[in-house]
Amino acid sequence: KTIEFTGALHATVVKQVRLKNPSTKTLVYNATLVGRDADDFSLPKGNTVTIAPKRQTSINVEFTSRFLRPAEAVLLLISKSVGGIDGATLTFSLKSEVKHIEPAVSLSVCLIL
């Protein structure tokens, strides 16, 4: 699955990834960001995700663009064994696109002749 982050240059865009646990046991995942632009993405609520049995949860992924070129990374969710139960490793492709540039400062210039 690909998650797309679209916004202005230097803007922060937040996306939610919904995770479901269909089993009767608690699942715990360690989330890691890897790839060329992994430093531009972050997990503001930390790297550990716990999903109660038969429940769902969402994790936030933030992206702040620093360049005009598209950024790419991968979100890896690797299961930690809890009571002998392991979940499947999950991967999400993260891609960004800068759609516009907003000026950081506006200057007014007055010419006196």
What is the structure's pLDDT at 50?
A: 93
DSSP for 32-67 reads: EEESTTGGGEE-TT-SEEEE-TT-EEEEEEEEE--S
Mean pLDDT, contiguous 10-residue spans, the chain (113 residues): 92 94 90 96 94 94 92 94 76 92 71 74
The full set of domain ranges for the chain reads 2-100
- The pTM of the full predicted model, rounded to 2 decimals, is 0.82
CATH class of 2-100: mainly beta
Asked if 7 and 65 touch (Cβ cutoff 8 Å), the reply is yes
Residue 45, number of CB atoms within 10 A of its CB: 13
